[in-house]
Amino acid sequence: MIPEIVQVVPTDNYEVYIYFEDGKIVCYDASGLLEKEVFSVLKDIQLFKDTCTILNDTLAWDIEGNRDETTCLDIDPYMLYGLEEANEKIA
Protein backbone atom coordinates (compact mmCIF):
# COMPACT_ATOMS: atom_id res chain seq x y z
CA MET A 1 0.00 0.00 0.00
CA ILE A 2 1.26 3.44 -0.92
CA PRO A 3 1.12 6.04 1.88
CA GLU A 4 -1.33 8.84 1.31
CA ILE A 5 -0.19 12.08 -0.30
CA VAL A 6 -1.01 14.90 2.09
CA GLN A 7 0.41 17.93 0.27
CA VAL A 8 1.80 18.98 -3.10
CA VAL A 9 3.76 22.17 -3.69
CA PRO A 10 4.54 23.21 -7.28
CA THR A 11 7.57 25.36 -8.07
CA ASP A 12 8.39 27.88 -10.80
CA ASN A 13 10.53 25.35 -12.68
CA TYR A 14 7.88 22.63 -13.21
CA GLU A 15 8.88 20.59 -10.18
CA VAL A 16 6.43 19.48 -7.52
CA TYR A 17 7.34 18.61 -3.95
CA ILE A 18 5.14 15.76 -2.79
CA TYR A 19 4.62 15.07 0.90
CA PHE A 20 3.47 11.62 2.01
CA GLU A 21 1.76 10.82 5.30
CA ASP A 22 4.69 8.66 6.42
CA GLY A 23 7.02 11.69 6.23
CA LYS A 24 8.65 10.90 2.90
CA ILE A 25 9.15 13.90 0.62
CA VAL A 26 9.94 13.55 -3.08
CA CYS A 27 10.51 16.11 -5.78
CA TYR A 28 8.91 15.25 -9.11
CA ASP A 29 10.27 16.99 -12.22
CA ALA A 30 7.19 17.33 -14.41
CA SER A 31 8.94 19.21 -17.22
CA GLY A 32 9.22 16.03 -19.29
CA LEU A 33 5.44 15.71 -19.35
CA LEU A 34 5.00 18.98 -21.21
CA GLU A 35 6.03 17.44 -24.53
CA LYS A 36 3.10 15.04 -24.39
CA GLU A 37 0.02 16.49 -26.05
CA VAL A 38 -2.34 15.83 -23.16
CA PHE A 39 -0.05 17.69 -20.73
CA SER A 40 0.96 20.53 -23.10
CA VAL A 41 -1.61 22.87 -21.54
CA LEU A 42 0.62 22.86 -18.44
CA LYS A 43 3.37 24.76 -20.29
CA ASP A 44 1.65 27.84 -18.90
CA ILE A 45 3.53 27.95 -15.58
CA GLN A 46 0.74 29.83 -13.83
CA LEU A 47 -1.79 27.17 -14.85
CA PHE A 48 0.69 24.47 -13.81
CA LYS A 49 0.94 25.97 -10.34
CA ASP A 50 -2.69 27.06 -9.90
CA THR A 51 -4.24 23.70 -10.85
CA CYS A 52 -1.75 21.43 -9.08
CA THR A 53 -3.61 19.46 -6.41
CA ILE A 54 -4.36 16.03 -4.99
CA LEU A 55 -7.07 14.05 -6.81
CA ASN A 56 -7.47 10.28 -7.20
CA ASP A 57 -5.19 10.04 -4.15
CA THR A 58 -2.24 11.32 -6.16
CA LEU A 59 -0.60 14.36 -7.73
CA ALA A 60 -2.97 15.84 -10.28
CA TRP A 61 -3.85 18.97 -12.22
CA ASP A 62 -7.49 20.03 -12.06
CA ILE A 63 -7.50 21.87 -15.41
CA GLU A 64 -11.27 22.41 -15.49
CA GLY A 65 -11.39 23.52 -11.85
CA ASN A 66 -14.36 21.33 -10.97
CA ARG A 67 -12.65 18.69 -8.80
CA ASP A 68 -13.85 15.99 -11.20
CA GLU A 69 -11.51 13.03 -10.74
CA THR A 70 -12.38 11.71 -14.21
CA THR A 71 -11.15 14.79 -16.08
CA CYS A 72 -7.97 15.64 -14.17
CA LEU A 73 -4.43 14.95 -15.35
CA ASP A 74 -2.81 12.69 -12.76
CA ILE A 75 0.41 10.79 -12.13
CA ASP A 76 0.82 7.19 -10.95
CA PRO A 77 1.22 7.34 -7.15
CA TYR A 78 3.37 4.18 -7.09
CA MET A 79 5.88 5.83 -9.41
CA LEU A 80 5.89 8.98 -7.26
CA TYR A 81 6.49 7.08 -4.04
CA GLY A 82 9.31 5.18 -5.71
CA LEU A 83 11.23 8.39 -6.41
CA GLU A 84 14.35 9.11 -4.39
CA GLU A 85 13.68 11.02 -1.21
CA ALA A 86 14.32 14.73 -1.63
CA ASN A 87 15.85 17.33 0.60
CA GLU A 88 13.18 19.96 0.93
CA LYS A 89 14.39 23.18 -0.72
CA ILE A 90 11.28 25.25 -0.22
CA ALA A 91 10.12 27.20 2.79
Strands 25-29 and 58-61, sheet pairing: unpaired
Residue 16 half-sphere exposure, CB side, CA atoms within 13 Å?
30
Residue 90 has a pLDDT of: 60
- Whether 73 shows a pLDDT value over 70: the answer reads yes
Domain hosting 38: range is: 5-81
pTM for the structure as a whole: 0.90
Task: Look at residue 52 and tell me if it is in a domain.
Answer: yes
Residue 88 in domain: no
CATH number of domain containing 41: 3.30.2020
Domain assignment present for 87: no
What is the average pLDDT score of the chain?
Answer: 93
Task: Say how many domains are in the chain.
Answer: 1
What is the rounded distance in angstroms from the CA atom of residue 39 to the CA atom of residue 61? 9
Give the tens place of pLDDT for each residue, 3-44.
Answer: 899 999 999 999 999 999 999 999 999 999 999 999 999 999
Residue 80's pLDDT band (cuts 50, 70, 90): very high
- Percent of the chain residues past pLDDT 70, beyond the cut: 96
